[in-house]
Amino acid sequence: MADALARAPRAFREQAQKGFRVLAGVGREHYGEIVDAVMRTLQNRQPALEELGRSLCLPTDQMSGLLAAAMIIVPLLANRGTPEEFSSEATKAGFLPTDVAQAIVPFAQSVFEKRAELGRIMRRAALPSQVLPYLADVEIVVDVRMDFEDQEVYEAVPVAMLHIDTDANNTEIWFQASKSQMEQFRKDIDAAIKRMEIAEAWARRGREQ
């Protein structure tokens, strides 16, 4: 646990320090929401801030720190250590301010009690990112492409411009597509999701046998 804390970048450490103070003031009734936000962030590779921020009534800058703090506690305690060990090691490493160290223990305990479930979710979330670059972000902008005749617009059609980014350096793609191509793309995605749901159900049956 000490090694994992020591490897964290300085900027992340400073953000998490502020987040621990915010987390110390959050009611226990919100612990489950915070853990769920961490799990969604790990699964989707994008911070799950908006919905949680509305529930907690916190500004964006505090939410960023809170999620950073939770992103330290949840993965660590899902794999190793106890809440008391985390509090001690995080304080020694300069992550956890000493004046809120004890106030963090109840949240850490709530994570510790769900260790088996959270560990399984984290392992599942890590599997799709193995071997090939993993989808990190998708941006879609709709443009209007016009054709002119005698200085007047003769025809106009919508065009989608897409940017797909991955977690690997210099592995991204830009392309454009017509409306009919996007409609087919949506059908292909829906079909792939259905197959993934069938695969998940099959895998669950295998574990239960």
More reliable by pLDDT, 121 or 163: 163
134-190 residue pLDDT tens? 777 889 999 999 999 888 989 999 999 999 988 777 788 999 999 999 999 999 999
pLDDT above 80 for 4: no
User: How far from 3 is each of 92, 99, 140, CA to CA, in Å?
Assistant: 12, 23, 40
Q: Are strands 135-149 and 152-166 parallel, antiparallel or unpaired?
A: antiparallel
| Domain range list for the chain | 2-129, 135-208
User: How far from 80 is each of 2, 14, 69, 104, 176, CA to CA, in Å?
Assistant: 11, 23, 17, 17, 46
Burial label for 86, CB within 10 Å (0-12, 13-18, 19+), is buried
Contact status, residue 177 vs residue 160, Cβ threshold 8 Å = yes
- SS3 state of residue 120: helix
- When pLDDT is cut at 50, 70 and 90, the band that residue 209 belongs to is low
User: How far from 114 is each of 11, 56, 90, 128, 209, CA to CA, in Å?
Assistant: 29, 22, 20, 23, 23
Burial label for 40, CB within 10 Å (0-12, 13-18, 19+), is middle
User: Mean of the pLDDT values across residues 117-126?
Assistant: 77
The span from the CA of 16 to the CA of 18, in Å, is 5
Residue 53: predicted pLDDT = 78
- When pLDDT is cut at 50, 70 and 90, the band that residue 119 belongs to is confident
61-115 residue pLDDT tens? 788 888 888 888 888 888 888 888 888 888 888 888 888 888 988 999 988 988 8
